[in-house]
Amino acid sequence: SHHLELGAKQFIEGFEENVVGMKVGDKKVIHLKFPDPYHSAELAGKPVDFNVTLTGLKNKKLPDLSDEFVAQMMGASIPNQGEAAHTLESLKKTIQEDLEQSEVKRIETDLKNRLLKKLVSLNPVEVPLSLLKEQKQNLVEDTKKRMSEQGMSPEEFETYTQKWDKDFESSAREMIQSGFLIDTIAKEKDLNWREEDLEAKFEEYAKQTGIEIARIKEFYSRPEQMNRLTYTITEDKVVKFLLSSAKVTEVAKDKIKEALS
């Protein structure tokens, strides 16, 4: 089972709207499409069915927002910063900064995905069948884990993978091709990750999460996690290099959807 807070936008667009009006015990199949672009490229624009059973309803009663409440809730999470850090005004400022950072991150991720897709289309690379099968299986397993967390049963996922088998293969091929091109550009332009890049990333994660750097390093001491992190660092450096050479056109916010269509 999964707890859903209406208004929190925890699921894709349209999910909450379909849940509204259901009564405890009601069952419903919700037919939706993943957004495009989406943080998981292999799911972007794909249709999905959610089998939903409403097992209970709870009403959340929120306390009054005040400096006293903020001080009580934030005192332990932001120690040694003085009383000024525990006011309603400081909380609003923190939320605003978090929202801005999230939006910047979303735009950067979208831009990177589009750039890599264009890079692959302009520089097609032959992909060995064995490598393609392995990458495709990894994608399927990662997607299965995410979809099961959102309520999809194994039987439903089996049907889903059969229907979108070619899309999984296409996404896997693009990932392999972009990885090869990233590696090639990184070698040619000396953009591979360095120890100072790694340390900077650890410090960034520590600042974002509040977790001690030692614990973060312990997590990334595992080869699989470290390989993913160092590749991400190299990929980001290559993308930054490519963007510095690309022609970027600013688009007004109200024109973004039109520009993307």
Given this model, what pLDDT does residue 254 score? Answer: 54
Q: What would the pLDDT profile of 80-123 be if each residue is shown by its tens digit? A: 444 455 788 888 888 898 888 888 888 888 888 889 999 999 99
Closest CA to 201 of 219, 184, 175: 219
Given this model, what pLDDT does residue 63 score? Answer: 79
Sequence-ordered list of residues with C-beta below 8 angstroms from that of 52, at least 6 positions apart, any chain: 18, 19, 22, 27, 28, 29, 30, 151
Closest CA to 178 of 220, 231, 142: 231
Given this model, what pLDDT does residue 6 score? Answer: 83
Q: Are 251 and 259 in contact (CB under 8 A)?
A: yes
Mean pLDDT to the nearest integer, 36-60: 85
Given this model, what pLDDT does residue 161 score? Answer: 87
Q: Which residue would you say has higher pLDDT here, 13 or 84? A: 13
Give the dihedral of Cα atoms 194, 199, 200, 203; nearest 10 deg: 160
Query: Hey, is 20 helix, strand or coil?
Result: coil
Q: pTM of the prediction?
A: 0.59
6: which DSSP letter? T
Each domain of the chain, given as residue ranges in start order, spans: 64-91
Given this model, what pLDDT does residue 104 score? Answer: 87
Mean pLDDT to the nearest integer, 193-209: 93
Given this model, what pLDDT does residue 199 score? Answer: 96
Mean pLDDT to the nearest integer, 20-26: 91
Given this model, what pLDDT does residue 70 score? Answer: 79
Assigned token pair, 103: 């939006």
SS (H, E, C) 52-101: EECCCCCCCCCCCCCHHHHHHHHCCCCCCCCHHHHCHHHHHHHHHHHHHH
CA distances from 192 to 72, 183, 233 (A): 46, 8, 8
Ranking 57-61, 63-67, 190-194 by mean pLDDT, the lowest is 63-67
pLDDT more than 90, % of the chain: 41
Q: 176-197: string of b/e by CB count within 10 Å (b at 16+)? A: bbbbbbbbebbeeeebbbeeeb
Q: What would the pLDDT profile of 205-261 be if each residue is shown by its tens digit? A: 998 888 999 999 999 999 989 999 999 999 999 999 998 876 655 555 455 444 444
Give the dihedral of Cα atoms 136, 138, 143, 146; nearest 10 deg: -170
